[in-house]
Structures are given as structure tokens and as C-alpha cells.
């Protein structure tokens, strides 16, 4: 068996066209200046990744390349090895198998993200030393205090009363003594409560004021205590970084453009995780209430009230902005109207002035005509007088044309006045329209306060809704776990 190929001795970049023979027990290479016989055991056969020529390497560093797959197979057979492409090359080169690989990648990522990451992060979250978590919690709290929260305005005694209630709720959390509650004015967070790492719960004044009784507040505390017990904030942090790692490792290199492509699925997955955590904490809250002989409906009521409060706030914000816009445009119309009136007055004045100057011109003309007549009557044939007569006639002409010009501009002024009057009318009607829409808005606001459904959602609400499942869904979930009647 023979084939054609090239030989490279490994000493210079010179290549030699050769014939390659497979003989019993060895490989023979013949070409100009090349005459090699090597035993099969000393030769290694290499295939090209992705396809291309095969390479025989010799012990002395020489190399022979040829483009003949059957010949390569024969060499493999003679060496007692498997025939054909290596397993991995066959896998890479088959479209079907590549697609299978793709599907397996997708499935592995999906399973890892759905089950592996949560399980792993649960393990890790409970191993992480409390010191580390404490430091993290303090950093988060400091940041929140700086950006959103303000000191609480609640009276001392209610803070004390609620802290005692929290102590009852938080008993049995794995964080132990470190669980504590803090009260802050929520600012743009409004009525809200958050659990941050190391067992700190921050509750806003607005939430305390919104609740109808202490059980509703305790329900929220129990929900947050559920987050603490499950170390949710730590797990959330871990899960987010783990998914980011997995997704970007799966689809491309860490530093390439594909990490941008990785961001989108990561966000979706993270939203799913926080929904799971909310459900867990909801169940904890319901369980706590039931253990104290209170209906879990207390929690559902509080949730609904919180949602209504958020929506009201959003609506207020948007209708306030609308109102402000309309009032501003009304001001603008007023200002425009004033300006127009002023310019109308100016126009009137101008007209008067022009009429006056027209009168003056008229009288001047008369005077000149008279003096011309007088001059004519005297009939003194003096050249000088003739000259002055001519000049007077000329100035008369000029006066005539000036008069024409002035009457023209008077006419223009008249039409200008008319248009200004017209625009004034327009402004008036515009103002009326704005006032009407203002009235409409006010009545709409009144009616919308009655109905609870809101259509416009600001970014605040979207933040709230994206990380939390819809309240109705959460309550239904609780209903399915606990009994309908709430006892």
C-alpha cells in the first residue's frame, strides 16, 4: 500500500515530495534525498482537528504528511489500533451529534440552574461563617441608610412593643441572637420590609402605620423571619453569581461579547429564584400565624393592603405629574396671551403715531402747495426762483411717495392687528380647553381613587412586581397549602 505525501526532516523548513509505503512491520518513505524505514512502534499517527491531512511523526523529529484517509486507516490497523476518526473527532464532525451535544448542554445548564444551584447555595449559605455574613449585612444596611432610609419617626413605646413581638416571631431562626429588627422611614420605598444578610430586618414606618393591628405587622415579620431562617439573602447572592458563572461558561468565553448574551437569561433565572424565596417565606408566615392561633388570612390581608398602597402611590405620582404638566401649559398660555396683548397695544400706538405723521405730512403738503401758488402768482422770472420751484416740486413728489408708503404701512398694521386679535381668540379657546381637561383630570382622579385597578405602573412597581409573584397568586398558593377558611 502506498500514497503520496511530503516529508519534513525537522531540521530545516525545506519540504520534500515523497512516496509513503506501508510494508510489513514498518513505514517506508522514498523521495529525493529521503530514504527512511521506520518500525511501526516508533511512529505516531496524528489526525487533524476539524479535518485535513494526517501526519506521521518519527522518533528523530521528522514528519510526514499525507492526505489519504484509507492509508491512515491501514496504518492504524497495522499498529493494532482502532480504524477511522477518533471518537471525539467523529462527534465534532457530525452535525447530528453536535446538535445532540447542544441539547445536552442546554439540558445540563437548565438542570444545574433549576436544582443544582439552589441546592448548592443552600449548603454553602449555611457553611459561611457568621462573621462574613455580619460584615456583609452591615455594609448593605449602611448603603440602604445612605440612599433610601431616614430615621424612624415612630414613638418609642411602639418600637419597643414591636421589638418584643419580633423577638417572639424570630425565635428559632438559625441566626439565633443576631436576628434583630430596625425601624426606618421608608422614603421612596414606602410601606415595606426587607431582610438583609446576618438576620437584620428593616421595617418602614409606613408599613407600621398601614397595618390595622399588630398581628398584621407580626405576619410581615414572620415572612421576613422566614427569609432569615432560610438564609435567603445569602443564598440569593450565591445563586446569582453561580448562575452568571454557569451561563457564561456555557455560552462562550468569559471575556467575549457572549457574556452580554449571557446577561439576559441570567436575569430571568434570578427573577425565578426570588419568586421561590417569596413563596417559602409566605408559607413561614402563615405557619407562624397558625401556631399562634391566628388565621393566616391576616397575612393575606396585609399583602393586599400593601399592594393597594403601592398602586395608589404610583397612581398619585403619575396623576400628579399630569396635573403639573397641565398647569404649566396653562401658565404658558397666560403668558403668551399677555405678550400678545402687549404687542397689540404697541401696534395701536404705532398706528396712532403713523396717523399723526400722516396728518403732519398732509398739512406740510398743503403749505407747500400754497407757497407754490404764491410763487406762481408773483411771476418773477428769476432763475433762482425757478430753481427753487423745481426743488419744491421735487420735494412735493417725495412727500407724495412718502404718504403712499405710510398709508401702505398703515394698512399692513391693520391686517397685523387683525391677525393678532385672531391669535388672541385662539389662545383664549386653548385656555378654555386646558381648563376643561384640568376639570376632567380632577374628576378622573376622584373616580380612580374609588377603583383599585391601576393601569400605569412606574419603575417602582415593576421592581416590586418583578421580584415578587403577584399577590393574588401568592394567596392562592397559601390557600392550596393551608385550608381555605384560614384557620
Partner 1 sequence: MEHKVSFRGTGKEYFGIWIVNTLLKIVTFSVYTAWAKVRKRRYFAGKIFMDDEPFEYLASPRALFRGWLVAAAAIVAYTCADYFSKMLGIVISLIIMAFFPWVVVKSRIFNFRNQSCRNIRFGFAPKYAEGYRVMLGWPLLVPFTLGLLIPYVFYRQKKFLVENSSYGTTPFRFTATPREFYRIYTTLVFKVVLFSLVFIAVFVGVAMFVPKQVGIYILMFLSVLPFFLVVVYFKTAIANLVWNSTELGGLKFQSSMDVMDMCWLYFSGGVAVIFSMGLLFPWASVRVMRYRCERLSVHSQEGIGQFIADTASASVGAVGEEIGDLFGMDVDFGF
Residue 91 lies near partner 1 (rule: CB under 8 A): yes
The answer to whether 185 and 152 are in contact (CB under 8 A) is: yes
The distance from CA 38 to its chain's CA centroid, rounded to whole angstroms, is 67
- Of 1, 23, 59, 102, which one interacts with partner 1 (CB under 8 A)? 102
Helices (H), 202-296: 205-210, 214-229, 232-250, 258-291
**Nearer residue to partner 1 within complex by CB, 11 or 450:** 11
Instruction: With contacts defined by CB under 8 A, name the span among 160-168, 250-258, 368-376, 455-463 that binds partner 1.
Output: 250-258
Residue 265 lies near partner 1 (rule: CB under 8 A): yes
- Record the cell numbers describing residue 103, joined without a space: 441539547
**Nearer residue to partner 1 within complex by CB, 29 or 210:** 29
Q: Which of 28, 34, 42 has the alpha carbon at shortest distance from 9?
A: 34
Residue 32 lies near partner 1 (rule: CB under 8 A): no
| CB-CB neighbours of 220 under 10 Å | 26
**Nearer residue to partner 1 within complex by CB, 129 or 381:** 129
CB of 10 to partner 1, least distance (A): 5
- Of 23, 41, 83, 105, which one interacts with partner 1 (CB under 8 A)? 105
| CB-CB neighbours of 68 under 10 Å | 17
Residue 447 lies near partner 1 (rule: CB under 8 A): no
Number of residues that bind partner 1 (CB under 8 A): 48
Q: Which DSSP category does 50 fall into?
A: T
Residue 127 lies near partner 1 (rule: CB under 8 A): no
Q: Taking each helix axis from N to C terminus, what angle separates 117-127 and 232-250, rounded to the nearest 10 degrees?
A: 130
Give the integer Cα–Cα distance in Å for 90 and 320.
Answer: 67
Number of residues written out for the chain: 487
- Of 48, 119, 382, 433, which one interacts with partner 1 (CB under 8 A)? 48
Residue 123: burial class (beta carbons within 10 Å; 0-12, 13-18, 19+)? exposed
The distance from CA 389 to its chain's CA centroid, rounded to whole angstroms, is 87
Instruction: With contacts defined by CB under 8 A, name the span among 44-52, 271-279, 316-324, 427-435 that binds partner 1.
Output: 44-52
Residue 344 lies near partner 1 (rule: CB under 8 A): no
Beta partners for residue 194, in sequence order? 202
Residue 117 lies near partner 1 (rule: CB under 8 A): no
3-state secondary structure of 195: strand
- Of 17, 98, 357, 487, which one interacts with partner 1 (CB under 8 A)? 98
CB of 270 to partner 1, least distance (A): 17
Give the integer Cα–Cα distance in Å for 88 and 107.
Answer: 20
CB of 99 to partner 1, least distance (A): 8
Instruction: With contacts defined by CB under 8 A, name the span among 147-155, 212-220, 262-270, 374-382 that binds partner 1.
Output: 262-270
- Of 24, 32, 33, 95, which one interacts with partner 1 (CB under 8 A)? 95
**Nearer residue to partner 1 within complex by CB, 89 or 395:** 89
Residue 26 lies near partner 1 (rule: CB under 8 A): no
CB of 345 to partner 1, least distance (A): 34
Beta partners for residue 181, in sequence order? 201
CB of 117 to partner 1, least distance (A): 13
Residue 59 lies near partner 1 (rule: CB under 8 A): no
Residue 12 lies near partner 1 (rule: CB under 8 A): yes
**Nearer residue to partner 1 within complex by CB, 55 or 372:** 55
Residue 480 lies near partner 1 (rule: CB under 8 A): no
- Write out 321-371 in H/E/C secondary structure: HHHHHHHHHHHHHHHHHHHHHHHHHHHHHHHHHHHHHHHHHHHHHHHHHHH
- Record the cell numbers describing residue 160, joined without a space: 419597643
Residue 10 lies near partner 1 (rule: CB under 8 A): yes
Q: Which DSSP category does 39 fall into?
A: E
| CB-CB neighbours of 339 under 10 Å | 11
Give the integer Cα–Cα distance in Å for 184 and 204.
Answer: 5
Instruction: With contacts defined by CB under 8 A, name the span among 102-110, 349-357, 375-383, 438-446 that binds partner 1.
Output: 102-110
- Record the cell numbers describing residue 46, joined without a space: 496524528
Give the integer Cα–Cα distance in Å for 441 and 466.
Answer: 30
Residue 457 lies near partner 1 (rule: CB under 8 A): no
Q: Which of 409, 394, 393, 317 has the alpha carbon at shortest distance from 358?
A: 409
**Nearer residue to partner 1 within complex by CB, 91 or 411:** 91
HSE, CB side, 13 Å, CA atoms: give it for residue 62.
19
CB of 184 to partner 1, least distance (A): 27
Residue 108 lies near partner 1 (rule: CB under 8 A): yes
Instruction: With contacts defined by CB under 8 A, name the span among 143-151, 246-254, 273-281, 360-368 that binds partner 1.
Output: 246-254
Residue 138 lies near partner 1 (rule: CB under 8 A): no
**Position of cell 396712532?**
352
- Of 49, 164, 433, 435, which one interacts with partner 1 (CB under 8 A)? 49
Instruction: With contacts defined by CB under 8 A, name the span among 12-20, 162-170, 270-278, 434-442 that binds partner 1.
Output: 12-20
- Record the cell numbers describing residue 63, joined without a space: 514528519
- Of 130, 144, 182, 250, which one interacts with partner 1 (CB under 8 A)? 250
Q: In the β-sheet with 34-39, what is the strand arrangement from edge to edge?
A: 34-39, 26-31, 15-23, 2-8, 63-66, 54-57, 44-46
- List contacts with partner 1 (CB under 8 A): 8-15, 48-53, 55, 61-63, 88, 91-95, 97-98, 101-102, 104-105, 108-109, 132, 246, 249-252, 254-258, 260-262, 264-265
Amino acid at each position: 500500500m502506498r500514497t503520496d505525501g511530503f516529508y519534513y526532516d525537522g531540521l530545516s523548513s525545506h519540504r520534500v515530495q515523497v512516496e509513503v509505503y506501508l510494508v510489513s512491520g514498518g513505514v517506508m518513505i522514498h523521495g529525493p534525498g529521503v530514504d527512511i524505514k521506520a518500525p511501526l512502534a516508533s511512529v505516531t499517527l496524528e489526525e487533524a482537528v476539524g479535518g485535513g491531512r494526517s501526519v506521521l511523526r518519527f522518533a528523530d523529529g521528522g514528519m510526514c504528511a499525507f492526505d489519504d484517509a484509507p492509508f491512515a486507516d491501514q496504518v492504524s490497523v497495522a499498529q493494532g489500533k482502532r480504524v477511522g476518526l477518533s471518537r471525539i473527532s467523529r462527534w465534532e464532525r457530525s452535525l447530528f451529534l453536535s446538535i445532540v451535544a447542544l441539547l445536552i448542554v442546554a439540558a445540563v445548564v437548565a438542570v444545574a440552574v433549576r436544582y443544582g444551584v439552589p441546592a448548592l447555595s443552600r449548603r454553602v449559605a449555611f457553611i459561611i461563617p457568621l462573621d462574613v455574613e455580619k460584615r456583609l449585612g452591615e455594609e448593605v444596611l449602611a448603603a440602604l441608610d445612605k440612599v433610601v432610609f431616614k430615621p424612624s419617626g415612630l414613638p418609642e413605646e411602639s418600637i419597643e412593643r414591636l421589638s418584643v413581638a419580633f423577638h417572639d416571631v424570630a425565635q428559632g431562626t438559625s441566626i439565633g441572637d443576631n436576628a434583630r429588627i430596625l425601624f426606618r422611614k421608608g422614603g421612596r420605598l414606602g410601606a415595606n420590609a426587607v431582610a438583609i444578610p446576618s438576620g437584620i430586618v428593616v421595617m418602614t414606618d409606613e408599613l407600621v402605620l398601614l397595618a390595622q393591628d399588630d398581628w398584621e405587622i407580626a405576619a410581615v415579620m414572620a415572612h421576613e423571619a422566614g427569609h432569615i431562617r432560610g438564609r435567603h439573602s445569602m443564598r440569593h447572592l450565591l445563586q446569582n453569581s453561580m448562575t452568571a458563572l454557569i451561563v457564561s461558561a456555557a455560552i462562550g468565553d468569559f471575556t467575549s461579547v457572549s457574556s452580554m448574551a449571557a446577561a439576559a437569561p441570567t436575569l430571568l433565572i434570578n427573577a425565578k429564584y426570588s419568586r421561590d424565596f417569596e413563596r417559602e417565606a409566605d408559607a413561614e408566615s402563615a405557619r407562624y400565624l397558625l401556631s399562634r392561633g391566628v388565621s393566616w388570612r391576616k397575612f393575606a390581608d396585609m399583602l393586599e393592603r400593601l399592594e393597594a398602597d403601592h398602586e395608589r402611590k404610583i397612581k398619585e405620582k403619575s396623576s400628579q405629574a399630569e396635573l403639573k404638566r397641565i398647569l404649566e401649559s396653562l401658565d404658558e398660555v397666560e403668558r403668551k396671551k399677555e405678550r400678545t396683548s402687549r404687542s397689540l397695544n404697541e401696534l395701536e400706538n404705532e398706528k396712532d403715531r403713523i396717523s399723526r405723521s400722516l396728518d403732519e405730512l398732509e398739512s406740510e403738503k398743503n403749505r407747500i402747495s400754497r407757497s407754490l401758488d404764491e410763487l406762481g402768482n408773483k411771476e418773477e422770472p428769476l432763475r433762482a426762483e425757478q430753481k427753487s420751484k423745481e426743488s419744491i416740486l421735487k420735494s412735493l413728489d417725495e412727500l407724495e411717495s412718502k404718504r403712499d408708503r405710510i398709508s401702505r404701512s398703515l394698512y399692513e398694521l391693520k391686517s397685523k392687528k387683525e391677525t393678532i386679535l385672531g391669535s388672541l381668540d385662539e389662545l383664549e379657546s386653548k385656555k378654555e380647553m386646558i381648563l376643561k381637561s384640568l376639570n376632567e383630570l380632577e374628576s378622573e382622579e376622584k373616580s380612580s381613587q374609588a377603583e383599585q385597578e391601576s393601569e400605569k405602573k412606574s419603575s417602582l412597581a415593576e421592581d416590586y412586581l418583578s421580584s415578587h409573584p403577584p399577590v393574588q397568586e401568592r394567596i392562592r398558593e397559601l390557600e392550596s397549602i393551608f385550608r381555605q377558611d384560614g384557620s
